[in-house]
Structure 1
């Protein structure tokens, strides 16, 4: 069975759990990532005779497996990993973790068991086919671990990871030509774990020549492993402080590159430590302030860029508006036309800081003729992800599309002329809110409407996107009242019914459904043709690009909202499905498999992953997992009659159970007909009823009690029989279902997956966008209707009426 992304993630995080307690997350990442590396290169060497990584005898993962349970397992693991490092000139890269450290791994048996369990977790993972072309499953898993390590490490130790979403945006804004040769260079002077460089290289079909420098030795080692895991074995990543000891030199000058990307540490106060040579980095610029290194890094990158090069760097927003020396540097950058674009990002995206940051795009090629800076304010597009914010697929795609189009988007993006930036008012201040107003229009209370009634036409006109989508609906809901005001034709409570039953809404729903069907059908052949050569990432890019085109310009339904629905389903389910099919083929991927043991409870009984079909109980039960085709799809297509009968039996059982419950609740009360049958727990069981019936007959009890007891016993008996019928029906249906999988043809499997599963879910998600839009319209109209429902005169009249009633009551009480 091919390796699913979700299963790989689960296994890797379980390996981290083995290490918790003895060390900080910033330390146990070294152990997990080292074993990840050894397992991956060992599997790759078995399947790829041209692998650039040599796995020597005594230095493979199989050698680690042979050490399981050994009393000296830690010492021998260190030796095996060192052999692998020495064979590939990776000393100090993959052998930094000490597997024989009792302070971190425990002593004696504790270390032995912990390392044995750790090796076992990786032993169960098969990376042989994990790198389907164009879809780096292993690299994604590495990023998954890095993200979680960054989260758990906290502020001081999270700087080694840049969120993948931001990395993808930066890779796209570089606009690297599709035909760029592999000799094209990309450079990151503060490369951390290398994620930015990898994303840029992956965006170029032919790959790129990667260069980077990283100050921290441990993080440098991570970047080296990361490069190899991502298939970039020929990288050139060097260790050292970029500002005080740049490693990429050409004579006495800095080496230059075609592109750069970077996420340098924000506002470093010690950047001048060891700094004794400029290498021309500040030529024509003021020297950056001693206590803030943001512009020192930026000017280093500018100097390291070829005369026609382009780069993207993440910096804190302060670089856009801080004064003094930084203002002078910013003015010179603007004067030279070096800044092509600025993209404002949401706050709290990055590990290590919560402050908002921006992407600054540097472009030397067209600097001399540049007349403006393209600005995007993307600060409001994100979702909460635990303690951090995270860019959604829709947010990333909107940023990229807007940047590449270079077109103005209201309250989001505009091309700001250099003349406006440099005028007396702005004086080279690049703070984005100066140029883009992202504030939503204020919801103004209309005094005349409160006095005289009616809904202001201004508020209705503001709903223009809805009236464009529903051209007749406004006239259905409103009629003119007086100049500038309208009134509802129905009560606010009836607005929902009118809108939901509107022909306009039905027409939009039908149009969206048809667009989805056309889009899906245009890719059906591509989906049904998935095989071992399919590149999953290319597949979803094709689907996503075409979906955006199909919905671009449509009223009310944003192309990015449906894109988000597609990408969410892809990430949750469809990617794993496609990976299974690519790795195993349609038929094998569709077959049920036995549920895996995930651990053991305190009594050493096994715990299993969630199963879709279970036959029997306890340890002897047969548990089956259906990764690709859930049983419900088989039932709906092949056993609809059996399912209908089971539903009927279930409904009948629920009816009997409800009747039984109501009978007991009515009569099992003090002095009730079933009171003598109530047990010590306060309830009535069938045995209680039978025992009381026997006694009641001997006591010649009243006929009503006898009848009530007979009724409850009859209902208990009927419920038991009904439950057995349901259980038998479920077993019969499940038996038919499990037998059906092996009989399915490849054509039937394709139809079940592409139509019954994928298309149905995607179409339902897209339809929910129409529901969401209509709900928002309903809520707004009801709000306006209730806001102006009562005028001041109405309230005065109501007050006068209440005063009269109070006067009457007072008079009745003799109070004048």
Structure 2
């Protein structure tokens, strides 16, 4: 049927695409195998993954030369040595050779990638910062690359971002067909201060990635974050030193220090005024927190601890009104945005026997097939644009903060989106907790009360069982010296108490002890009955 034909076409498309377009080379045999397996898992088993030394021998060749590509991406090993002794096709390295020792093979990888691009090719590679400023032969290579107008952008990344190394890294973007606006220019982005901290290594948050992507795509210049620099400045002022902080310095302003405030107390009026723009976004007055006149103000008498400040801020009517306004804007946005979500899912189309009667080569039976929904990336772009337009009106967040809110939410639901795109809307997408919290609130509260009561009765029963002195039967006494606790179950304790009662009834001398044991047995039975009723 159509679905099967579509699957065959889909597979053939990917097979043909992989055979002619997807290539890779990796020195480490184990990692090469992992890369191959990754391709198989993504339905591209025919991607060509080679195992070898890229600098020594470019195994991916075509017509007696190394193959040229539209796009190259790589994360080569940092700070490696190399050898020219057995090097093949050394004419790949157009701008010279880096020292073979001293662990400076980084720019050799870069030159190989540049040579592997076709006339309109683009590439992005991770590089250590050292390639941007080291001297000697590396400077000559760097100068050649800059003068050839190949570098589109250099993006500084946060520290400790990659597993196993704390070496600062950057993304080097090469473009053999740079736009006219970037002719003889390089776009610098200094993103090393915006990231999430992890225990072992740091990471880029969704909002950090979105900002880098947006700024790079639109070549947007932001003070302390990004800048377009002319090649003349790079050559004449900085002597081909591409150290990013020379062009985009994001060093934070020093913290204001007021000796009088440190010694005598009080908050400098200048520090309060420096936050006035933030107060104004929410219509909040600093007078709600601070009192006094002159250059130094003090917290109001009712502000006795830090938590009180939070209460004052959250209960401020203007702030409440601002949040309500934002929430209304979000609700209005969603009324439109949900239509895009609905169109993510494949559309179910039904054709009856009558409708297909005149169609050639089609079996006369009911057919059910799917027409592909909208692409996730297109939906994301459209929603993000409208989301920004909606919230920027409120003027409480800047465009990157607004984008950060959206992409964090989008990241949280990305797997649900893939499910919708693949199989359509499914009940499994809605968490059970949602149904319970919204439609079965009373039942949930009742169950929680029952569970609490069961736990209390169970604990009470367990305490009672453990409080009874228990002796094993003579027959099992020698089996395991440590099995007293294993045998201490409700049943064994009850059987034990019953046997004791039978023994004590034989004599009138144990009335008090008999009464006590009967009470213990009765208490156990009562607790068991209570548990049965609760369950």
Q: TM-score, length-normalised on structure 1?
A: 0.48
1:432 to 2:233 alignment: no
Q: Is 2:161 the counterpart of 1:319?
A: no
Q: Measure, in 1, the Cα distance between the counterparts of 2:22 and 2:7.
A: 26
| CA-CA distance at 1:326 after TM superposition | 1.0
CA offsets 1:752-780 (integer angstroms, 9 cap, x no match): xxxxxxxxxxxxxxxxxxxxxxxxxxxxx
Aligned to 1:519: 333
Q: Which one of 93, 106, 110 corresponds to residue 298 of structure 1? A: 110
Cα offsets for 1:86-141 (capped at 9, x unmatched): xxxxxxxxxxxxxxxxxxxxxxxxxxxxxxxxxxxxxxxxxxxxxxx9xx9xxxxx
The equivalences for 1:564-579 within 5 A come to 564-571=407-414, 574-575=416-417, 578=420
Give the drift of 1:343: 0.8
The 1:400/1:464 distance shift into structure 2, 3 A limit, reads: farther
For the structure 1 residues 375 and 655, does the alpha-carbon distance in structure 2 shift closer, same or farther, using more than 3 Å as the test?
same
How is 1:330-729 mapped onto 2 (pairs within 5 angstroms)?
Answer: 330-351=142-163, 353-366=165-178, 370-383=183-196, 387-424=200-237, 426-464=238-276, 466-483=278-295, 485-489=296-300, 490-493=302-305, 494-528=308-342, 530-531=345-346, 533-534=372-373, 537-538=376-377, 543-544=383-384, 546-552=386-392, 554-556=395-397, 558-571=401-414, 574-575=416-417, 578=420, 582-583=422-423, 586=425, 589-590=426-427, 627-647=428-448, 679-680=468-469, 723-727=531-535
* Cα-Cα RMSD: 4.9
1:288 is the counterpart of 2:288: no
Distance in 1 between the 2:10 and 2:119 partners?
Answer: 37
Question: C-alpha distance in 1, partners of 2:342/2:247?
Answer: 49
* Runs of 5+ consecutive residues of structure 1 not aligned to the other structure: 1-43, 54-132, 137-181, 184-197, 199-207, 591-626, 669-676, 701-705, 728-816
Deviation at 1:265, TM superposition (A): 2.8
Q: CA deviation at 1:367?
A: 8.0
Q: What's the offset of the Cα at 1:566?
A: 0.9
Cα distance in 2, alignment partners of residues 656 and 528 from structure 1: 49
Q: 1:716 to 1:564 in 2, by over 3 A?
A: farther
Q: Cα–Cα, structure 1 residues 526 and 305, in superposed 2: closer, same or farther, change >3 Å?
A: closer
* Residues 1:478 and 1:716: Cα distance change in structure 2 (over 3 Å): farther
**Offset at 1:402?**
1.4
- What count of residue pairs does the alignment treat as equivalent? 468
Partner of 1:212: 23
**Matched residues in 2 for 1:440 and 1:258: separation?**
40
Instruction: Return the offset for 1:311.
Output: 2.2
Q: Distance in 2 between matches of 1:521 and 1:319?
A: 50
SS of equivalent residue, structure 2 residue 413: helix
Q: Secondary structure of the equivalent of 2:330?
A: helix
1:399 and 1:229 map into 2 onto residues whose CA distance is 29
Distance verdict in 2 for CA 1:399–1:464, change over 3 Å: farther
d(CA) in 1 for partners of 2:60 and 2:132? Answer: 28
CA pair 577-336 structure 1, distance change in 2 beyond 3 A: closer
Of 73, 78, 82, 1:270 maps to: 82
1:570–1:628 CA distance, 2 compared to 1 (3 A): closer
Q: CA deviation at 1:482?
A: 0.6
Give a deviation string over 1:373-396, Cα, whole Å, max 9, x none.
221222234445663433332222
Q: 1:356 to 1:452 in 2, by over 3 A?
A: closer
Shift of 1:456: 1.2
Taking the aligned partners of 2:431 and 2:97, their CA distance within structure 1 comes to: 64
Distance in 1 (CA, whole Å) between partners of 2:533 and 2:373 is 47
> CA 1:471/1:698 → structure 2, altered by over 3 Å: closer, same or farther?
same
Asked if 2 retains the 8 angstrom alpha-carbon contact of 1:653 and 1:719, the reply is no
Name the larger-Rg structure. 2
Cα 1:716/1:497, change in 2 over 3 Å: farther
Task: State the match for 2:71 in structure 1.
Answer: 259
C-alpha contact 2:132 2:241 (8 A) present in aligned 1: yes
Moved more, 634-643 or 330-339: 634-643
Deviates more, 1:374-383 or 1:542-551: 542-551
Return closer, same or farther for 1:212/1:442 CA change in 2, 3 Å cut-off.
same
| Cα separation, 2, equivalents of 1:473 and 1:51 | 61
Q: Deviations over 1:721-772 (max 9, x none)?
A: 6654543xxxxxxxxxxxxxxxxxxxxxxxxxxxxxxxxxxxxxxxxxxxxx
Aligned counterparts of 1:420 and 1:631: Cα–Cα separation in 2: 61
TM-superposed deviation, 1:714: 11
Residues 649 and 367 of structure 1: CA distance in aligned 2, closer, same or farther (over 3 Å)? closer
Distance 1:338 1:577, change over 3 A: closer
Q: Matched residues in 1 for 2:403 and 2:87: separation?
A: 47
Kindly report which structure 2 residues correspond to 1:779-798, keeping only aligned pairs within 5 A, or say none: none
Quickly say closer, same or farther: Cα 1:247–1:644, change in 2 above 3 A: closer
- Partner SS for 1:422: helix
Query: After superposition, where does 1:692-771 map in structure 2 within 5 Å?
Result: 723-727=531-535
Shift of 1:575: 4.5
**After superposition, what is the alpha-carbon deviation per residue over 1:281-317, rounded to whole angstroms, capped at 9, x for unaligned?**
32xx343222322222222333333444332222111
- Residue aligning to 2:478: none
> Is this contact kept in 2: 1:472–1:504, CA < 8 A?
yes
After superposition, residues 125-274 of structure 1 pair within 5 angstroms as 210=21, 212-214=23-25, 216=27, 218=29, 223=35, 226-227=38-39, 229-232=41-44, 241-246=53-58, 256-274=68-86
SS of 1:517's equivalent in the other structure is: helix
- Tell me, in whole angstroms, the C-alpha distance in 2 between the residues paired with 1:405 and 1:388: 30
- Asked whether the equivalents of residues 151 and 175 of structure 2 are also in contact (C-alpha less than 8 Å), the reply is yes
Contact persistence 2:107–2:131 (CA under 8 A) = yes
CA distance change for structure 1 residues 522 and 720 in 2, over 3 Å: closer, same or farther?
Answer: farther
The question of whether the paired residues in 1 share the 8 Å contact of 2:98 and 2:137 is answered with yes
